[in-house]
Amino acid sequence: MIFIIALFILLLDQCTKLLAVKNLIVNHSVPLVKGVLHLSLTHNRGAAFGILKNQTPLFIFVSAFAVILIYSVLRGNRHKGYSFYSISLAFILAGALGNLLDRLRFGYVIDFLDFRVWPVFNVADSAITIGAILLGYSILKNPRN
């Protein structure tokens, strides 16, 4: 079930990015709720907040390593059932895979969600953030994970 969660998030990420690419113009903003939520297609060649621009090989290596590590941990934890720990790793796995696929295919990550007070991001970024929050909660609740 954990891998189904990851697959669902990955598919949601890739489908929303496809819709963004097909319906938006790069660096052009479409307001959904003016001043609050816009759709703004951007090509992020860096990491979070655009740092370390044009370091694609580094990001591909780090992402691939993270994906392999998380996958192996999840495979090893199958007998423990569903916990915040495994769900958090599924979210992080899906987000890392979504952005890794973009980097491998395009050399950049497709971002399009723009809340105007935060850098433009995507579903994969959201999954990584939610996963990290759940992981922190899981570790604080049960440090033996």
Q: What is the pLDDT of residues 86-140, one digit of tens each?
A: 999 999 999 999 999 999 999 999 999 999 999 999 999 999 999 999 999 998 9
Q: Is the pLDDT of residue 79 over 60?
A: no
Contacts of 91 (CB under 8 A, 6+ apart): 5, 6, 9, 127, 128, 130, 131, 134
Structure tokens at 75: 């495979």
pLDDT at res. 145: 58
Q: How far apart are CA 122 and CA 84, in angstroms?
A: 22
pLDDT category at 49 given cuts 50, 70, 90 is: low
Residue ranges per structural domain of the chain: 42-47+54-145
Kindly list the catalytic residues.
Answer: 111, 125
0.75 surpassed by pTM: yes
pLDDT at res. 96: 96
Q: Name residue 21's amino acid.
A: V
